[in-house]
Structure 1
Amino acid sequence: MIVRPARAEDILALAEVAARSYSVSFGTILEPEVLATRNAAFFAERFRSSCECMLIAEQNGKIAGFLLMTDGHIDMLFMDPAVSGQGGGARLLEAAEKRGAKSLECFRDNHGARRFYERHGWRVTRRYEREFAGRNRSFVFYEKGAAT
């Protein structure tokens, strides 16, 4: 799997990966009506203004996952469910760390993602609630190498 910067022509494929991944990742955390709004069109619009902040994991010429990072904060890291667990997420995370990734936020109940980040040396430094999609939700804030 290779990691490369995103290009404008990747936006639609990225949006499709995001929509599939979001549904699988948050299917037990968010309500169906919220998940329905996070479709490929939603993500394509989001990515149009942030493509230059994205890295792509590519496998056999196809987008397998992506990472969006702004100002040292990882905003999103998603792998296509069809290729999850094959090392692409780790490669993206490593590339982000080399580019200065220092923090990220995760749903408290996203246990798979939390195990992934903790396996790679990220530590929870704060637990809190904030509004997301019209409701208060529980989150954890991670920092690389921070003490627990």
Structure 2
Amino acid sequence: MKMYEVTARTPRLLAELLTVWEASVRATHHFLSDAEILQIKEYVPQALRGVAHLIVAADDAGAAVGFMGIEDGRLEMLFLSPAARGQGLGRHLLEHGIAHYTVRELTVNEQNPQAVGFYEHMGFTTYKRTETDEQGGPYPILYMKLG
């Protein structure tokens, strides 16, 4: 497994990351309908292009199996392909973000208990909760800080 910060956000790479994103969301975000996933998916390439630091985890063949986006010390996104889950990759990515990009904050869907538990295990604690997501959808968001 290798990790690297993306320098060229090519259409091919963005398409590959979008595939990882969708598989990850379908495996973990059971509170979203198929239509909602497809609606959100339209905005993911823009988010991938716009985030300050995009770090990809690739398998030995060079295929992306996970990624995270970081902006101003905030973890903006972290997604793993379902086949890569449970192998320490999320921990490895997040520790890299903490060590090299001073990640100290993140938000997570409260309705994704596996992610909430993972971030708590990694030392993050909730300091704020909202009833809706940033788009006003009925998805409570937890705001978490390290330490």
Matched with 2:122 is 120
State the TM-score, normalized to the length of structure 2.
0.86
Tell me, yes or no, if the aligned pair for 1:64 and 1:88 is still in contact at 8 Å.
no
Normalised to the residue count of structure 1, the TM-score between the two structures is 0.85
Matched residue, 1:33:
35
Query: 1:66 and 1:97 mapped to 2: Cα distance?
Result: 14
Unmatched 5+ residue regions in structure 2?
Answer: none
Aligned length: 142
Correspondence for 2:106? 104
RMSD of Structure 2 on Structure 1 (CA): 1.8
More strand as a share of residues: 1
What are the equivalent positions in structure 2 for 1:89-100 lying under 5 Å apart? 89-98=90-99, 99-100=101-102
Identity %: 25
Whole-angstrom distance in 2 between the partners of 1:48 and 1:77? 15
Q: Where does structure 1 lack aligned partners over 5 or more consecutive residues?
A: none
Question: How far apart are residue 134 of structure 1 and its match?
Answer: 5.0
Choose 126-135 or 68-77, whichever is displaced more. Answer: 126-135
* Partner SS for 1:24: helix
Asked whether the equivalents of residues 19 and 43 of structure 1 are also in contact (C-alpha less than 8 Å), the reply is no
Output the CA distance in 2 between the equivalents of 1:106 and 1:118. 11
Note closer, same or farther for the CA distance 1:131–1:62 as it changes in structure 2 (3 Å cut): closer
Please, which moves more after superposition, 7-16 or 117-126?
7-16
How far has the Cα of 1:113 moved from its partner?
A: 0.3
What is the DSSP-based 3-state SS (H/G/I as helix, E as strand, rest coil) of the residue aligned with 2:139? Answer: strand
The equivalent position to 1:17 in structure 2, one of 16, 20, 26, is: 20
Q: Distance in 2 between matches of 1:33 and 1:92?
A: 29
Residue pair 1:22, 1:38 contacting (<8 A) in 2 also:
no
CA distance in 1, matches of 2:134, 2:143: 15
